[in-house]
Structure 1
Amino acid sequence: MLDTVEITHTTTADQITDEAVQLYRSQGFIRVRGVLSPEEVERFREAALRLSERMQSLHKGSVFTQLVNAWREDEVLRELTLYPKLARIAEALAGVPLRLWHDQVLIKQPQKSTATEFHQDQPYWPHARSAHSLSAWVALCDVPVERGCMTFIPGSHTRTELAAQNLEDPRSLFSLCPDLEWDARVTLPLRAGDCTFHHSRCAHMANPNVTHEPRVAYVIIYMDADTIYTGQPHVVTDPLALSPGQTLEGELFPRVGERR
């Protein structure tokens, strides 16, 4: 099973091969090497760690520190959230126009974190008409298995009927879909600057961080450009006074990936 696209930080989205696109669409995830240069990694990691000192974590448990919509709080991280190459790769993989849904800094604290159990992302979101949503998960440090890299269940993105799962409960996903427990799993360690893209319905998990260094990841989540708000509660949309049926658009949900 091919799981890696070898590129460098100078590679363009046009160089993502048809084979890589088909692999992503068949298994629901792909690893892309070397999206960021070492200098970019250092700059963005330091900005993420500084932000974690002044911004309150959305998640209160020991799974991770979660900072949502960092691009609205920090000009350096805004550059990463709106990084054109990442967006263009995402659009090449999805095959449809995309908007930003939100970003998040996810830090697994050293020797204190617990596992992020298997779950799908999309059931948490107040989205309709967004069948192609996906996340770019950028490693801002080396992420071996011991520091909390990602494990995916190939093909699980085809399970579109499942309700939201509890990412702190190791049985949550498998109680909803017992057959997934016996499917193959692919674990993808990342070097700093590497990235995975995964479909919003692709089941994934991450180990606890048992090392002495924080695991710093930056996630940029993209949704179909014509996604509709369902009215389901969510921290991003709750303050916006939206009505169910509205298209998620405007300055908070900008179009991405367009060639200008």
Structure 2
Amino acid sequence: METNKTKFLKEGYIRIESLLSLSEVDVLRAIYDAILQDKVKTAHLRSDLAGTEMNPHKKVERITQIMRPSSLVPELLKTSAYKKAGLWAKDLLGEDMELDFDMMINKAPNTNTPTPWHQDAAYWISMPDQRSASCWIALDKVFKENGCMWFIPKTVGNPILPHKNMPNGGALFCETDTSQAESIPLLPGGCTFHDGHTLHFSQGNTTDTQRRALILNFRPKKMIDYEREQGVDHTGERKQRN
């Protein structure tokens, strides 16, 4: 019988229908929205994954990414989301899994800007232990039209494909066969877990409301220490390292 753990190890991703209750989601939304609206405090951690517009006077954040939000609002770390996701990460990959970093990714209404196909491992430095789990938590109902996650099951060998940056400092992207891609719609409080080598993507938001996601990234404690020794704290520029 296939379990969440065996599916995650085999295909590189799983869906959890309900990680959080609606009351737990409401707590996160309040903190999330306050951080999102504060462009002064978040300036050094904030960017647009879509890349910057050529005309700065018309600049609109289409895919707002804020790295390490819990460094700005430590109370996030005390919310149930971090505890529950951490327990899942340990169950999937081992008791030495810890939170490496968190981030917020918001797709603004009617911006219709996809997050391109990529593998998170392309951003990594080379590490001897490749275990990782990213928990993507939906704070809104997510579906194809507003940017739910899509995944492609892992393949044998699971290579890191060549990646490039989107124009004007945007996200990394790669070319890949998407014929086996699966979309994962979720209700608020639902989540997915994927590993760093799993190809994933989301469509642009064509609706009149935000698509808010909180992402918690886990890896072995020794590898977190290794990253920090190499100066990697997940606040720097986006580029292919691996």
Which TM-score bucket, shorter chain as reference?
0.7 to 0.9
Aligned residue for 2:21? 37
Deviation at 1:125, TM superposition (A): 2.1
Counterpart of 1:28 (choices 12, 20, 23) is 12
- The structure-2 alpha-carbon separation of the partners of 1:206 and 1:237, relative to structure 1 and needing over 3 Å to count, comes to closer
- The structure-2 alpha-carbon separation of the partners of 1:23 and 1:83, relative to structure 1 and needing over 3 Å to count, comes to same
Counterpart of 1:220 (choices 216, 235, 240) is 216
Aligned residue for 1:59? 47
CA distance in 2, matches of 1:122, 1:221: 12
Counterpart mapping for 1:111-126 below 5 A: 111-126=110-125
- The structure-2 alpha-carbon separation of the partners of 1:39 and 1:59, relative to structure 1 and needing over 3 Å to count, comes to same
Report if the CA contact (8 A) 1:28-1:202 is conserved: yes
Aligned residue for 1:185? 181
Aligned residue for 2:104? 105
- The structure-2 alpha-carbon separation of the partners of 1:80 and 1:106, relative to structure 1 and needing over 3 Å to count, comes to farther
What is the TM-score of this pair, normalised by structure 1? 0.74
Aligned residue for 2:85? 86
Report if the CA contact (8 A) 1:209-1:215 is conserved: yes
CA distance in 2, matches of 1:27, 1:104: 24
Counterpart mapping for 1:163-242 below 5 A: 163-166=162-165, 172-174=173-175, 180-181=176-177, 183-227=179-223, 228-229=226-227, 236=234
Runs of 4+ in 1 over 4 A off after TM superposition: 167-172, 230-235
Q: How many residues align?
A: 217
Aligned residue for 1:47? 31
CA RMSD in angstroms comes to: 2.8
Deviation at 1:45, TM superposition (A): 1.0
CA distance in 2, matches of 1:37, 1:157: 37
CA distance in 2, matches of 1:78, 1:113: 31
Structure 1 regions of 5+ residues with no counterpart? Answer: 1-16, 175-179, 239-260
CA distance in 2, matches of 1:126, 1:167: 20
User: Between the two proteins, what is the percent identity of the paired residues?
Assistant: 26
Most deviating of 196-205 and 128-137: 128-137
CA distance in 2, matches of 1:77, 1:122: 25
Report if the CA contact (8 A) 1:96-1:132 is conserved: no
Report if the CA contact (8 A) 1:48-1:77 is conserved: no
1:154 aligns with 2:153: yes
Deviation at 1:99, TM superposition (A): 2.2
1:140 aligns with 2:139: yes
Report if the CA contact (8 A) 1:41-1:140 is conserved: yes
